[in-house]
Amino acid sequence: MNRSRRVVAVTRPPTEALARCELTHLDRQPIDIALALAQHRAYEACLARLGAEVMSLPPEPDLPDAVFVEDVAVVLDRVAIITRPGAPSRRRERASTAAALKAFRSVQHVAAPAMLDGGDVLCVGKVLYVGRSTRTDAAGIAELERIAAPFGYVVRPVAVTGCLHLKSACSYVGDGMLLVNRNWIDAAAVQEEQLVDVPPGEPHAANTLMVGDTVVAAVGFPRTVALLERLGRTVETVELSELRKAEAGGSCMSVIFEV
């Protein structure tokens, strides 16, 4: 990360509507919204402590999944791509996010009928790994390539078989390493990177995010944290237990970029 530049983290608080969120791999459980909000505030505080300027978008009380801002925008060095989420209920999340990102990047839009969720897009340098999932289809991958290729990015599809998004099973943890759960994605598609397997018993631990040089991981995966620390990573943990009932991962609640 270039330390002379600012780091912005776009977030949005959850609302009572989270009780009606989309669920794909989980059964619905009651969500304590006060607790989810408290965990979200602590998540934002962690990003701020690590040096990000947190830009909290207004709540969207009619849009259950609007807290998961990552899915509607992919911010690259010179362009912000507004996606077309695979879940129709999520498409109205885009307008306010696009308006906010206009202050930082030129904005381009994935065109209908393509489907692309930002949670399926993992940027490693100039490579965009993109999950082919229940939320992202071949047309969405083609749209990502159409918009990103002129800026020098290469797009590489990855089959997602056991989880919601590519980043549910694979995240960049610095120094050329990807933390990965090979049971949920076709890991052969990312094997050019140095792969670090999540320890047995912690399949959900592969979703992390980086702020500066620090890996932010969810509480509850001690073997993964110990593994990352042995690999020289600095790790911060945040409690996401209530938000996880809405099929959340740490990465999906922010869009982080330099300005």
Q: Which of 100, 13, 3 lies closest to 52 in space, CA to CA?
A: 3
DSSP summary character for residue 189: G
CB of 212 to ligand GLY, least distance (A): 27
Q: Is 242 in the site for ligand GLY (CB under 6 A)?
A: no
Does residue 46 carry a catalytic annotation? no
252 is catalytic: yes
Confirm or reject binding of residue 65 to ligand GLY (CB under 6 A): yes
Residue with tokens 């959850």: 14
The single residue listed with the structure tokens 């990003």 is 47
Nearer to ligand GLY, 22 or 143 (CB): 22
CA distances for 210 relative to 56, 70, 163, 177, angstroms: 18, 14, 21, 12
Q: Which is nearer to ligand GLY, 27 or 188 (CB)?
A: 27
> Residue 90 or residue 233: which is nearer to ligand GLY going by CB?
90
Smallest distance, ligand GLY to C-beta of residue 211, A: 22
Copy the structure tokens of residue 237: 């943990």
Part in contact with ligand GLY (CB under 6 A); list of ranges 2-10, 17-25, 152-160, 208-216: 17-25
CA 18 to the chain's CA centroid: 18
In the complex with ligand GLY, the residue whose CB is nearer, 100 or 252, is 252
Q: Which of 15, 22, 187, 205 binds ligand GLY (CB under 6 A)?
A: 22
Pairwise CA distance, residues 81 & 155, whole Å: 14
Given the complex with ligand GLY, which of 25 and 223 has the nearer CB atom?
Answer: 25
Residues 100-129 that bind ligand GLY (CB under 6 A): none
68 near ligand GLY, rule: CB under 6 A? yes
CA dist 208 and 118 (Å) reads: 15
Q: Does 87 bind ligand GLY (CB under 6 A)?
A: yes
Choice from 69, 120, 247, 256 touching ligand GLY (CB under 6 A): 247
If you write DSSP's letter for every residue of 19-80 in order, what string do you get?
A: GG---SSS------HHHHHHHHHHHHHHHHHTTEEEEEPPP-TT-TTTT-GGGGEEE-SSEE
Residues 143/116, Cβ–Cβ less than 8 Å: yes
Q: How far is the CB of 242 from ligand GLY (least distance, A)?
A: 13
Residue of 246, 253, 255, 256 that binds ligand GLY (CB under 6 A): 246
Distance CA 259, CA 256 (A): 10
Q: Is 21 in the site for ligand GLY (CB under 6 A)?
A: yes
Please give the residue ranges that form the binding site for ligand GLY (CB under 6 A): 21-22, 24, 65, 68, 87, 246-247
Q: Annotated catalytic sites, by residue?
A: 165, 252
